[in-house]
Each structure stands twice: as C-alpha cells, then as structure tokens.
Structure 1
Amino acid sequence: MSMAAEMSVALRLPTGSLFEGRATRMTAVAQNGAFGILPNHVDLVTALVPSVLTLTLADGSEAIFGIDEGLLVKKGHRVTVAVMRGVRGDDLGTLQDAVMSKFIEMDEEERQARATFSRLEADVVRRFADLRKPHP
C-alpha cells in the first residue's frame, strides 16, 4: 500500500450520508477506549459507542460529530462509519445541545413509527381472522 497524506471518510446514517470527504486524522471511541486513525493506519473494524467523533479535514479545519453506536471500517485509505444516529456540531460547546435536540426528535419519530407499525400489524391480524370466519 502506498503512503498517503489523506484518507477518504464517509459517515453514514440509515437515512443517508452525514459526511463525505477527505481527512488527515480521525478520533473516535470504541468499547475499549478512545483511539486515533491516520491515513496509513492498519486496516481495522471496530464497534463504536455513543461519543464524539472528530475529523481533521484536508484543509486543516476540524469537523465534530456526536454519534450513537455504530461500526467503523478502515480499509486502505478509506474509512466508512455507519451509525444509527449522528449530528454535526460547530464546536464541543454547542454539540451537546445539537445532539440532545436531534436525538430527542429522532426518538419521537421512532416512537411514532413503532406505533404506526403496531396498528398495521393489528389490522393484518384482524383481516386474517376475518378470512377464517365462515361466510354465509
């Protein structure tokens, strides 16, 4: 593998992409603690815990994300992170507020989706029960 100064990073949510771009450094937190990845880091797969994920972008700026649990895969000069929920923040001070409001909003949407699914499931069961009834 050739030596590289940058790596390609994709941060994915179930509904789309939260970030896609080039970075020179990444920090994240796994079950056994925080770690950093540079472009020439050995390939790895690890489970992430709810935490802060930071990227040093190719232009020298920093991107900060609040993430829920997920999976990180590094292969070659490409890192893909798949998380259930995530939000990008401007800085650590405002990230907590952004995470709280976004995750609360997502929890409410998930609750509504579960309630709708339960109603649909009950309707299917009711219709199957109606099919078993003898019709005159």
Structure 2
Amino acid sequence: MTTIQNATDWTDLNCSSCGAFICRIAVPLGGPAQCQPCQNRAPGCASWCAEGEHSDALFLDDAVCWGPEVVIPLSLEPSPGLALIPSLEISPRRQIARGVDSVYVCWQHLFGTDIDLSVSEARQLAAVLLTIADRVDVD
C-alpha cells in the first residue's frame, strides 16, 4: 500500500494583535489575522485588556482597559485591622477615549490611595527602587 505524503509546509497562524494561536495553515495569508476576541475588541482597546468589548461603558469616556493585577503584601506596614492586609496593587490601565496608557498603583491600607504613572515614570521608579534595595541589602 502506498502512502501519499503532503509536501506542503504547515505553519502556525497567530493573532497579529495578541499573539494567540489561531490555527495551522498551509497557504500564507495576504495580511494580518486576528483571533475572535481581538476582532470583538472595542476600538482602541489594549491587547492586554481582560474585558475587550467594554459593553458596560455607557459613554466612550467611561471605557477603561484593565490588565492583569499584581498584589504585593506589605509585611512591614501595620495592619489597620478588619482582616485587611496592607498591600500594593499594580496593573496596566488604558483610558480609551484619551488614548493614555499608564501603570496604576493602589496602596490598600485603611483607605485606598492610588496613582497613575506613565510608562517612563514607572520605569524610573523601578530603577530607583532596585538601586535603593541593592544599597540596603549590602549592609
């Protein structure tokens, strides 16, 4: 019995927006391809946004992209009680109408205090924190 082998080179087709695997193809496409979630994204929505469609935003000014949140418990801060652990919550944020991306930082203590940092400011803060942590760690 003769086995016919397909001489076609197969390649993965990934979303041009988020990089997610879509399928395997044998014929290259003429342009970029998007996965279904990215096709349904609101205009201006970030690829890292968990919501995507922003159907709950009544006005465009209300639409905000939120990315994955990282929580860092602060062990040296006294607990205000009420089973609340002081922590920093950090996540990417985009105000779609303004086209502004930021790094959102919220200090959860008795009352939350938050700031939006530009990408440049977040990188500067990270560099300063690393430098000072290295200095403290030497002693």
TM-score, structure 1 length as denominator? 0.34
Larger helix fraction of residues: 1
TM-score, structure 2 length as denominator? 0.33
Larger strand fraction of residues: 1
The structure that has the greater radius of gyration is 2
Relative contact order (C-alpha < 8 Å, sep 6+): which is higher?
1
